[in-house]
Amino acid sequence: MSRSPDAKEDPVECPLCMEPLEIDDINFFPCTCGYQICRFCWHRIRTDENGLCPACRKPYPEDPAVYKPLSQEELQRIKNEKKQKQNERKQKISENRKHLASVRVVQKNLVFVVGLSQRLADPEVLKRPEYFGKFGKIHKVVINNSTSYAGSQGPSASAYVTYIRSEDALRAIQCVNNVVVDGRTLKASLGTTKYCSYFLKNMQCPKPDCMYLHELGDEAASFTKEEMQAGKHQEYEQKLLQELYKLNPNFLQLSTGSVDKNKNKVTPLQRYDTPIDKPSDSLSIGNGDNSQQIPNSDTPSPPPGFHPHQFIQSQCAVPF
């Protein structure tokens, strides 16, 4: 009736509380019928309930029918084996996650923009309603001043702008990408992130504000470095844009004013989510005096051979 400590089987559960049996309960059989429960449940039945075996309904004896406590050597051996199994399991998981080290996952609500001048390289500046705050509610902005993605344009900064909603990120990208500001051409796209090194090792990450992934990302949004070099992530971004356009063809339209709740008057602040009652004849793109005018229309209607990026850029007013 006793169990071997060397048995290679899944942990046995108490049929009453459904908790795994403790090591000391492995050879604990309180009734002569052989029905095994944990010592906690046995004590509860004898002291707080009717004292009968749940299986055969015989009264439990004062002492358990079979109870052979494990020796200290056996207990230590079982603990060592259990620890070894856990380490082997962690190592196997780590090996299965090794390939994820070179994988990047597109974040649908994250905008990565490069080519920013020092004038714009400030999180609080980019959050303003006249800049990236215009397109939706921003969760976080991170500036990187140590990069030089702009190449011949000279020193420039990059930024990661995290929106609450993914559609706001797509709106910002389509309105800002390829716009010239302060003599620099901005490039915007959906940002990517990688897996946390602790996650890859199946370890608990000690950083509470870690921005890397700690769970498996969407497979459709995951790309190897080779796939990204081939532009697969850009194809995924265009697919998201097309899907959003089908759901809401007017998602890029900006109104010419917002309502002041106290005075019930229209203020010059622009908003992204309200339809245009009286569209102006043109939209301004540019910075200060060097702006150019693009015709506007009530309802966008894509031409044959619709290309989302080219079409949508002509429909939104860039705030820079």
Residue type, 291: S
How many Å separate Cα 130 from the centre of its chain? 28
The tens place of each residue's pLDDT in the chain, 320 residues long, gives 545 444 445 568 899 999 888 877 888 889 989 899 998 999 899 999 999 999 999 999 888 777 777 677 777 777 787 788 777 676 676 677 888 888 999 999 999 999 998 889 999 999 999 899 999 999 999 998 875 554 566 678 899 999 999 999 999 998 999 998 888 889 999 999 999 999 988 889 999 888 899 998 898 999 998 998 999 999 999 999 888 888 888 777 654 333 344 433 333 333 333 332 333 333 333 333 333 333 333 333 343 333 444 444 444 555 56
pLDDT of residue 290: 35
Print burial letters for 225-258: b (CB count within 10 Å at least 16), e (below 16). Answer: eeebeeeebeebbeebbeebbeeeeebbbbbbee
For the question of whether the overall pTM of this predicted structure is more than 0.85, the answer is: no
pLDDT of residue 161: 95
Question: What is the Cα–Cα distance from 37 to 58, expressed in whole angstroms?
Answer: 15
pLDDT of residue 62: 82
Domain 12-81: homologous superfamily in CATH: Zinc/RING finger domain, C3HC4 (zinc finger) (3.30.40.10)
Residue-range domain boundaries for the chain: 12-81, 102-247
CATH code of 102-247, in short, is 3.30.70.330
> Is residue 221 packed enough to be buried (19+ CB in 10 Å), middle (13-18) or exposed (0-12)?
middle
pLDDT of residue 11: 66
pLDDT of residue 154: 67
